[in-house]
Amino acid sequence: MNLSKSKYCRAIQCNKMLWLDKNKPEEKGEIDNQAVLDNGTKVGELAKGIFGKYINIEYNENLDKMIYDTKEELKRSQNIITEASFEYKNNFCSVDILENNGDSVEIYEVKSSTEVKDIYLDDISYQFYILSNLGYKVAKASIVYINNQYIRHGELNLQQLFNIEDVTDIVLEKQKEIRIKIQEINEYMQQESEPMQEIGMQCFKPYQCQFWQYCTKHLPEHNVFQIRKMHKDKAIKLYYEGKVNFKDLVEEDLNWRFKQQIDFEVFNYEPHIDKQRIREFMKNLYYPIYFLDFETMQTAIPEFDNLKPYQKIPFQYSLHYIEKENGELFHKEFLAESGEDPRRKLAENLVKDIPKDVCVTAYNMSFEKGRIKELAEIFPDLEEHLMNIHDHIQDLMIPFSDRMYYCKEMQGSYSIKYVLPALFPNNSELDYHSLPLVHNGGEAMDIFPEIKNMPKEEQKKAREGLLKYCELDTYAMVKVWEKLKEI
């Protein structure tokens, strides 16, 4: 089989994943990881310049052309070559960064992660295997990854943005393993009929497998893998003990939250509503009351000053508020311009829109409080007002996370995306699926940075989609609050 480093790493996780990818690609499910892929591409491009001037081997569907171009650049003694491409016995790899020292080479594998993971060691070991078997003396093998302690001030400092970890000793130890694994993959892939492979932790680590739905189509509707927040290794253990269906788990000694989800589903219990505890919680909320929700984006490469890699940047908020008992519901909102640092304008509008000492609610308040605190740290002139908002936030999630209110339709979750339809079934006004463009925070995070590159008409639609989505988030909070008041 023709192997690449990505295919090799897929087989390291699960041989059957690679077999299905080749023989039943139509069974592959979708995983929302576009932001991860985009970050990886941007980091890879930026890291090419970490050692200064370089020559890049342009991608070509004809891999032989890339291999030929690499050989030509090596003959010219080009010092730094990116995407240098090699093949040994149908095993192909492109090295992210190759340093050519004449009598030896060094290889650098670039990752957008903030740590070195085991799968990265398999990746670079495979590259080392190919180059060393082609006769190259590989003096060093290193992983280049993001330094999450770097804070941008002015121009990007690549030497500070990236960490470089020498993993040569580990790579050398893995060479025999690589040879054996390649042989195993080639034998495995020769099978014409679908191989048997039990599900296990390889379905989740190091990455969620896209064939999960296909490989688990034999499972009942309510099964152990649907128990909310249960660690996958625990679920796997129960699965192998034959405790798969919720009915099989009724007598199992489990965490009370897991038991509640199982029992409510199996026995079709009426909603659990602890009116006294809800009443105590509601005493913390007072008029005027504000409902706040942020949308954020995050990138591996800090685009603006005073930012760390992967730091969440608020670019939008929605705000519903009621000033007095039986008062009118008002709405305010802010959406930054794509391509600009949104934080200053957002912070200024926030302190203009939320007075001091009012009751502010958020759903999962640690998120909103975290963003407000970060804004206060970089804008000292707004710190007092921002921290006043911060200190008056109440968490509307608590009645559901603490299970003061629970029904089987929540499926063990206290996310508002589960709580809302459970409280208001078949209410089209509160249906995120009916929104025109943006349906969740992940889509908002993907769309906002791209608006600046869109034609004018598409920009308008994208902004409208973002505003409608974020507005529904806070309107949903108002409806949840009303339901709690009713109780």
Of the pLDDT bands very low, low, confident and very high (cuts 50, 70, 90), residue 33 is low
Q: How many domains does the chain have?
A: 3
Residue 109 lies in a domain: yes
pLDDT of 254 over the 80 cut:
yes
Of the pLDDT bands very low, low, confident and very high (cuts 50, 70, 90), residue 37 is confident
Q: Which pLDDT belongs to residue 35?
A: 73
Based on the fold, state whether residues 319 and 448 are members of the same structural domain.
yes
Based on the fold, state whether residues 446 and 304 are members of the same structural domain.
yes
pLDDT of 47 over the 70 cut:
yes
Based on the fold, state whether residues 223 and 275 are members of the same structural domain.
no
| Mean per-residue pLDDT of the chain | 96
Based on the fold, state whether residues 285 and 303 are members of the same structural domain.
yes
Based on the fold, state whether residues 263 and 279 are members of the same structural domain.
no
Based on the fold, state whether residues 282 and 152 are members of the same structural domain.
no
Based on the fold, state whether residues 96 and 239 are members of the same structural domain.
no
- Per cent of the chain over pLDDT 70 is 99
Based on the fold, state whether residues 238 and 167 are members of the same structural domain.
no
Give mean pLDDT, residues 454-467.
Answer: 97
Give mean pLDDT, residues 26-33.
Answer: 83
Residue 211 lies in a domain: no
pLDDT tens digits, residue range 198-239?
Answer: 999 999 999 999 999 999 999 999 999 999 999 999 999 999
Residue 313 lies in a domain: yes
Residue 374 lies in a domain: yes
Q: Which pLDDT belongs to residue 32?
A: 64
Q: Which pLDDT belongs to residue 443?
A: 94
Domain with 250, as residue range(s), is 219-267
Domain boundary among 249, 267, 285: 267
pLDDT tens digits, residue range 259-304?
Answer: 999 999 999 999 999 999 999 999 999 999 999 999 999 999 999 9
Residue 193 lies in a domain: no
Rounded-to-integer distance, Cα 361 and Cα 249, Å: 37
pLDDT of 99 over the 90 cut:
yes
Residue 349 lies in a domain: yes
Domain of 347: which CATH number? 3.30.420.10
pLDDT tens digits, residue range 194-203?
Answer: 999 999 999 9
